[in-house]
Amino acid sequence: MNGFLNKQPATAQLATLIGFFIAFFLIYFAVMQLLLPSISGGYTYETLYAAAKKDSSLLPYLKLTQILYTTIVFLVPAVIFLYLCYPQPFQETGLAKGPSIYNLVFTLLIMASALPLVAALMEWNASWPVGDTLVNLEKEAEEQTKRLLYMPNVGSLIVNLLMVAAIPALAEELFFRGAMQPIVTKVVRNGFVAVIITSVIFSAIHMQFLTFLPRFGLSIILGCIYLISGNLWLSIIAHFCNNALSVILFYSGQTETDESYSWYITALSGAVVLALFLMMRRSNKHTALAPTENN
């Protein structure tokens, strides 16, 4: 079974990955319907979120649903798909070896330099005229996120770093960058176009459209890091750092992580990110992912 999907057309591989996502989403929903009431004192998946607004003792169950969602819907199907698609999935994704110090430094510099650019995208996205229904849904999601990130002690900080940063970084990067992006590259025959397509899907699947653009921008950065380096550890580390920063800022009392920058600071941010990518690419030409038949 190991690697048998590698002989199938790229479109069949992509359809299989999407099928896995849908199947495991349904499995997650079924698990929540069956398991949650028995461990939470009768609360269903639908009633738990409303009840947690008034009862903080229910927050651990709410956190559990988030961890299980990320694990079941993204991590498990990605692992199964990579195992079925490649004879040596760890080598194929670059996970078999750690990143070079050179690439790691460039990755961290890119993520830090991109902060003003991402903040500008967030500010622009928030100004888009949308219907009241969507605005209310986004506000409800934001309030739920703040509720989830309630951290009265260091222990809750560690749990939230695991829930928001570590598990999503590993699961989502395996799914979107490790599994989806190379398959889309085979289909469109262009690595950067594949990064854009994967990033649209990545941002849209989070179902928070007033933050679509900054998430899309971050996904392009993560996708380019993997495209250039061929090492998934780098995009996992970058993803973790981005999410962990939000958690730590929230823990320190800064509930608003986006900051308004002047246009020239935003332009400089974009220019520096581009320059860093070009420099990184020059030393990684031999490892950049290419749309080959067996890649």
pLDDT of residue 289: 55
Q: What is the pLDDT along the chain (295 residues), one digit of tens a residue?
A: 676 788 899 999 999 999 999 999 999 999 988 888 888 888 887 788 778 777 778 888 889 999 999 999 999 999 999 999 998 999 989 999 999 999 999 999 999 999 999 999 998 888 878 777 777 777 777 777 777 888 888 988 999 999 999 999 999 999 999 999 999 999 999 999 999 999 999 999 988 888 899 999 999 999 999 999 999 999 999 999 999 999 998 888 765 544 667 888 999 999 999 999 999 999 887 655 544 443 3
What span, in angstroms and rounded, lies between the C-alpha atoms of 110 and 122? 18
Determine, yes or no, domain membership for 290.
Answer: no
Determine, yes or no, domain membership for 52.
Answer: yes
Determine, yes or no, domain membership for 92.
Answer: yes
Determine, yes or no, domain membership for 90.
Answer: yes
Task: Report whether 221 contacts 270 (CB < 8 A).
Answer: no
Parent domain of 218: 4-282
Burial of 138 from C-beta contacts in 10 A (0-12 / 13-18 / 19+): middle
Determine, yes or no, domain membership for 250.
Answer: yes
Determine, yes or no, domain membership for 39.
Answer: yes
pLDDT of residue 259: 60
Cβ-Cβ contacts under 8 Å for 80 (sequence gap 6 or more): 20
Nearest 5°: the CA angle 266, 267, 268 is 90
Determine, yes or no, domain membership for 288.
Answer: no
Burial of 8 from C-beta contacts in 10 A (0-12 / 13-18 / 19+): middle
Cβ-Cβ contacts under 8 Å for 272 (sequence gap 6 or more): 113
The 3-state secondary structure of 121-161 reads HHHHHHCCCCCHHHHHHHHHHHHHHHHHCCCCCHHHHHHHH
Cβ-Cβ contacts under 8 Å for 227 (sequence gap 6 or more): 181, 191, 192, 194, 195, 288, 289
Determine, yes or no, domain membership for 289.
Answer: no
Burial of 174 from C-beta contacts in 10 A (0-12 / 13-18 / 19+): buried
Task: Give the chain's domain count.
Answer: 1
pLDDT of residue 56: 77
Measured in residues, the chain has a length of: 295
pTM for this prediction: 0.90
